[in-house]
Structure 1
Amino acid sequence: MKKAKDKVELRYYDIKQEHFLIALQNRNWQNKYQTEADSLHFHNLLEIGVCMQGHGTMRLEDKVVSYEAGMVTVIPANFPHNTIPRGDAGNTWSYLFVDPEKVLAAFYPDDILLQQKLLEHINRQTFLGKETEVPNLKNVITCILNEMNHTPEFYRECVRGLSLSLLLMIARLNSKKDIGQEMLRQKNGFDQIRPALEYIRDKYATPMKIAEIASVCHMSESHFRRLFEENLGMTPVEYLNQVRIKKACDLIRKTGYSMEEIAVKVGFSTTSTFNRNFKRIIGTSPYHWKKSPENFETRLADFNILVEKGW
């Protein structure tokens, strides 16, 4: 009997314009984040985690590794993974979600080659190791979490500099060939469609055809469609519409744009198409969603869009 395909879901995070990252250290959402063994998820951002309490296993694509309190993880964007806690002692993580491209473009605006080189190293592989093995990296993570938690004077400027230090340390870590920690290279079918996910992330607001997206992965359209659906459990069009609707949710929350303006800004050619996809994905119309604050956080949590508080 053929093994059932793992569930894979996108968990999309939108960073505020004036920030380079999101810091999450609220225990109330921990249980929502951790998933069942047969359910993988991936993010549109680089994920950096520190296990503060507990132990369990982490699945990184098709490999399962153990973690315990004091361990640090670095997981590139669009890399399938999950976290399975064990025992009854509680399981608490702190996370940073970082946009490396935004950080590097801000610091090296005229050096595209350096940006590309650093991004290649940053996204090369996942990392799981004890904090004692990467003490400088752990210190920078802790400093960022403290700055974002307490927001002292000039905290944005401080985090700005720390964000670059964080990425440079990760790039240097991934360039080492003899380190003993658990590191996994991105590979297999999911890795083959990863350029398409990045392309959609950057170009979601523009009209695009599936053949155009397939060409980014150097595949025929038919082969790309098959591989995409095998790895994500949805068609490329369904994925593109999910990204667009998630961006629309953020615009509804943060701006005063009309629904007609939002539809255009996220890539839908007509308002009726936008409304139809919004209702299919979220479960209600954008107008009702906007007018129902009591359902706001629940809708977002169900759809894996983080409601940022206090950052």
Structure 2
Amino acid sequence: MHKRPLYKFGYAEVGLPEEFPLVVSPIFEQGDKEITALHAHNVIEFGICLDGNGIFVVEDKVLPYHAGDASIITNREMHLAQSTKGTSSHWYWIYVNLEKILFPAFNNSEIAGADCLAGPQFNNIIHVSRYPQICAMVKQIAEIHYGRKPYRKERTISTLCLLMTELRVVFGTGKPVPRTTTRSCFEPDTLQRIQKSVAYITNHYTEKIKIRELSKLSGLSVTHFRRLFEKALGKSPVQYLAQVRVTMASAELKQGRKPISMIAYESGFKTLSSFNRHFRKQTGSSPREWRKK
């Protein structure tokens, strides 16, 4: 039986700006120095490996990584990376207070839930070969931060929302699993079968989407697809689509630039009355009231 090395442990607090609590490191060169100490941060850390390969030690886990892979380390877990001997790898590190950024934008604390992104059953390295969309979104957040295009905050918030939505679909509900159970905090068979349809919704929510198209993406009949979708996410595909549209519209409303009718149509709603009805149902207020909050 492999015996865990004796590591030293430390705490590395990350200072985040009060106004917009997200920091992206400059490109970081990860050397091949042997891991003798682990550390933890006060906030969640996302990483994207730009080149190279090596290992990540996260608590008792030893996880290999390669170029293009992403890492997710919550503030619960001690960790450190090491490149393959004789080489180095390069990373972006993203530190963020999810609740402070996402809750004001979407008035939904569940979207910031990261309970299933930690623990002995969770692989903190997200391999690009298996989850290219997740890795692309992590990289996109870093690129938005260092880019010169307008609306960086708005684009960052939207991408974070899509990233956390995708992570919850793939790895769980975002709710903590009772310690008395040995069940993993996700159900791979159910979640993976609807993953393509959820990814399609998050990328095409502004368009007309038919349930039959979504069921084909999952290789299921419409009836079976609806049943599995509701089992995995606790709501029907139509309800989930409306939720994504309202969530993205609510972030746009906070910017106060576009007319409400334009935001409604650009978010995928056919009529303003339908938008108002779904918005009030999800947020408890009208779009106009939401904008003034």
User: Match for residue 177 of structure 1?
Assistant: 187
Aligned partner (choices 79, 85, 88) of residue 86 of structure 2: 88
What is the distance in 1 between the residues matched to 2:138 and 2:92? 10
1:120 correspondence with 2:118: no
| Greater CA drift, 152-161 or 34-43 | 34-43
Q: In the aligned structure 2, how far is the partner of 1:65 from the partner of 1:152?
A: 35
Partners in 1 of 2:89 and 2:134 — Cα distance?
Answer: 22
User: Aligned match of 1:133 in 130, 146, 149?
Assistant: 130
Which of 72, 75, 80 matches 2:73?
Answer: 75
Q: Distance in 2 between matches of 1:4 and 1:120?
A: 26
Q: Cα offset for 1:64?
A: 1.5
Tell me the residue number matched to 1:153: 150
* Conserved? CA contact 1:46–1:99, under 8 Å: yes
Is the 1:49–1:73 contact (alpha carbons within 8 Å) kept by the matching residues of 2?
yes
Residues 1:96 and 1:57: Cα distance change in structure 2 (over 3 Å)? same
Q: Is the 8 A contact 2:54 2:64 kept in 1?
A: yes
Alpha-carbon spacing, 1:157–1:165, altered in 2? closer, same or farther (3 Å): same
Task: Give distance in 1, aligned partners of 2:5 and 2:50.
Answer: 34
User: How far does the alpha carbon of each residue in 1:128-185 deviate from its partner, in whole angstroms, 9 at most, with x for none?
Assistant: 1321311221222222111111232211121122122222222222214328xxxxxx
Q: 1:164 aligns with which of 152, 161, 165?
A: 161
Alignment match, 1:56: 54
1:44 maps onto 2:26 in alignment: no
Q: Distance in 1 between matches of 2:106 and 2:88?
A: 42
Is residue 103 of structure 1 aligned with residue 98 of structure 2?
no
Q: Does 1:11 align with 2:3?
A: no
- Cα distance change on mapping 1:64 and 1:123 into 2, 3 Å: closer
Aligned Cα root-mean-square deviation (Å): 2.8
Residue 238 of structure 2: aligned partner: none
Of Structure 1 and Structure 2, the greater helix share is in: 1
Distance 1:37 1:14 in 2: 24
Shift of 1:42: 0.8
Question: Is the 1:100–1:119 contact (alpha carbons within 8 Å) kept by the matching residues of 2?
Answer: no
Q: CA deviation at 1:115?
A: 5.7
Q: Distance in 1 between matches of 2:111 and 2:140?
A: 24
Distance in 2 (alpha carbons) for counterparts of 1:88 and 1:136: 31
Compute the TM-score of the two structures, normalised by the length of structure 2.
0.52
CA distance in 1, matches of 2:33, 2:98: 26
**Contact map agreement 2:70 2:126 (CA 8 A) in 1:** yes
Q: CA deviation at 1:5?
A: 4.6
- How far apart in 1 are the matches of 2:71 and 2:11? 19
**Which residue of structure 2 lines up, in the alignment, with residue 214 of structure 1?**
none
Is residue 50–residue 90 contact of structure 2 (8 Å, CA) maintained in 1? yes
> How far apart are residue 79 of structure 1 and its match?
0.7
Q: Give the superposition deviation at 1:39.
A: 0.6
Return the alpha-carbon distance in structure 2 between the equivalents of residues 168 and 160 of structure 1: 12
Sequence identity percentage:
19
Residues 1:143 and 2:133 aligned together: no
The 1:36/1:101 distance shift into structure 2, 3 A limit, reads farther
Distance between the aligned counterparts of 1:165 and 1:4, measured in 2?
Answer: 38
* Greater relative contact order structure (CA < 8 Å, 6+ sep): 1
Paired residue secondary structure (1:131): coil
Shift of 1:35: 6.1
Identify unmatched segments of 5+ residues in structure 1: 180-311
What residue identity is the alignment partner of 1:92?
Answer: H
1:42-81 deviation line (CA, Å, top 9, x unaligned): 1111111111121212111012122222222111113111
- Structure 2: tracts of 5 or more residues without a match: 173-185, 190-293
Is 1:121–1:172's contact at 8 Å kept on the other side of the alignment? Answer: no
| CA distance 1:70–1:115, shift in 2 (3 Å) | closer
CA deviation map 1:175-216 (0-9, x unaligned) = 14328xxxxxxxxxxxxxxxxxxxxxxxxxxxxxxxxxxxxx
TM superposition shift of 1:6: 2.1
